[in-house]
Amino acid sequence: MPRDHDPRTIALAVDTIKGLAIDAVEKANSGHPGTPMGLADIAFELYARYLRHDPRDPAWIGRDRFVLSCGHASMLLYSMLHLSGYDVSLGDIESFRQWGSKTPGHPEHGLTPGVETTTGPLGQGVGNAVGMALALKLKEARFGEPYAGARVFCLASDGDLMEGVSGEASSIAGHLALDNLVLLYDDNHITIEGDTNLAYSEDACKRYEAYGWFSQFVDDGHDHAKIRAAVDRALAEKGRPSFIRVRTHIGHGAPTKHDTKEAHGEPLGKDETAATKKAMGWDPGRTFYVPDAVYGLFKERAAELAAERADWQTRYEAWRAAHGELASGLDAFEKRAVPADIYKQLLAGLPAKDDATRNLMGALEQVVAKAVPSLIGGSADLAGSTKTLIKDVASVGPGKFTGRNMHFGIREHGMGAVCNGMALSGGIIPFGATFLIFSDYMRASVRLSALMEQQCLWVYTHDSVLLGEDGPTHQSIEQLWSLRLIPHLYVVRPADALECAAAWAMALARKAGPTAFALTRQKVPTIARDPGFDPDDAMRGAYVAQDAAGGKPDAVIVATGSEVHLAVGAKAKLEGEGKKIRVVSAPCLEAFAEQEPAYRDRVLPPGVPRASIEAGRTPPWMSIVGTSGLAIGLDHFGASAPDKVLAQKFGLTVDAVTERLRAWMGRS
């Protein structure tokens, strides 16, 4: 148990945390000083008393996790990491928000040691914290001792609670009874526009009680005894997560900006900074100051933490010695190990019939699930439609964490953020599934998975107007290119079973990046490829499926997914008329862009006219086919009708495509 510190030293440490935040924001002339000032007392208690972590090994698997969901208060986190002994120097603090620094405006995972997740869009951190708590439960259920007792602490703001993603994720946490999660709500009554009563008047404690959380209210978030008592009660509570609403004051200690909206997103200013330091009993002219007594306090805490880590290490080594096979399983799990021959396994297990790619991917998922224990996930109440249920394994539920099938409910926002938290916890390859149209609901989470380079799998079915009768509200038009615009995200739209196998293999090989699958509801035919075709080429993002008969092609048709068979049909008709056509299937444009130039030129020869076929927006395709090329697709919303009727009406048949290609080639 952490020792009790002298109240005067605690007060000095809190003032130091405030001072570092004030000085960093002031020097940068940019940032948010008020929230770090208001949360300094709570952050001190968490880091000096409760949080179990190892600054020498930020990735220690047995650690507690701390998530600052209100990422605008980043200087609070950077101050705590510096004082706690992480590789965040005083010089890094002084370089706050500057080019090349470890201390960006919002915390970024992978950049700053000790930062568990990238928090910027409000509410996402709450969802990540839920995912982390869930992941710890999943791993403890599988391996036991190494993860036993690990907890997640999250600090959230008014903005975090107002954003819908946090509500969805919190509802999931309450349903799953994640009693290893403590969420502290910074109830400071201030947002950018002013007092929160302008737009926010609900009782957050009652809301979280309704979610199934243990809820408390602390009327003074600057009273350390009250903070400790509430956290102690939260940690003692079993069977449900804990929510603590803490009344704080933004800009706490600033003579004129205490409790003002100006303290939220503006530097205090020279005069207010001097007055604040004077009120603290500090030299107003001294900046980035850390008293020796404060460093000493945190060195004492580091020694306590080192002893806790050593004790854990002893237990861990004894556990490994007693459970050799399980320990090997843990090692493979944490590495997200995938068999080297997974693509061969998938090719060997290809479904033999023509089918919807959602069905083909679902069948191949069973092969992946048997070979890769790290694969855990589910859908937003759409498992029957997305075909993502892992067979012969249990579902995850309250107190039931050995399973692999998640039921996220109708909560795409929360599903995305929770999956990111699961991935960030290590070991798990999470997947979340819904219709492609609803990728819009979870776009912020998908973007963050790409920004954080996390191996999340986003499974999207019903990928075009050809889903049919559900109509334009459910029919994707712009979503494919909307996702492709996200840097570092692979978007894979397979044409048949072979490309589905390639899609799985590509995604499993991407340890440092997410992959989105776009899959059909309707059946698609198996593509006949040229003799000598190398299946490995499908892993390269685009390849020649059928080459031109008789030499250099007159034109290249690039198609994806359910439109590849249209290109093949058009090729047959046009070559019957004496034209030489190459068909290129491009399941993943991002992977193709990463290939060496020589390969790209072999597939898409420079100077040869190009056309594209995809049942979605066409303008972005012009960057591939060129200004003289032809992009066949859909630049309007769909309609409610059977898929074959829609194909006829919207020109997505072999005859219609052939006619457009014939006319284009006649002009070129």
Kindly list the catalytic residues.
412
Distance CA 185, CA 168 (A): 16
Q: How big is the chain by its Cα radius of gyration, in Å?
A: 28
Cβ neighbors of 638 (< 8 A, separation 6 or more) are: 465, 471, 472, 475, 477, 646, 650
Counts of helices then strands in the chain (DSSP H, E): 26, 20
Q: What ranges in 67-153 are assigned the alpha helix state H?
A: 74-84, 90-94, 124-143
**Residue labelled with tokens 């952050």:** 43
**Residue labelled with tokens 């080429």:** 537
- Residue 171's alpha-carbon distances to 51, 117, 262, 394, in angstroms, are 25, 21, 33, 21
Among 105, 123, 598, 583, CA closest to 115: 105
Q: What ranges in 388-544 are assigned the alpha helix state H?
A: 412-424, 443-451, 479-484, 497-509
Distance CA 293, CA 159 (A): 35
Cβ neighbors of 667 (< 8 A, separation 6 or more) are: none
Q: Which helix (H) or strand (E) holds 187?
A: strand 181-187
Burial letters 81-96, b for 16+ CB under 10 A, else e: bbbbbbebeeebbbbb
**Residue labelled with tokens 């079915």:** 461
Q: Which helix (H) or strand (E) holds 430?
A: strand 429-435
CB atoms within 10 A of CB 160: 25
What are residue 311's phi and psi, to 5 degrees? Answer: -65, -45
The DSSP 8-state label assigned to residue 141 in this structure reads: H
Helix (H, G, I), strand (E, B) or coil at 620: helix
Compute, in degrees rounded to 10, the torsion defined by CA atoms 504, 508, 513, 515. 10
**Residue labelled with tokens 């507690």:** 64
Query: 388, 459 in Cβ contact below 8 A?
Result: yes
Instruction: List beta partners, residue 246.
Output: 186, 218
Query: 605, 584 in Cβ contact below 8 A?
Result: no
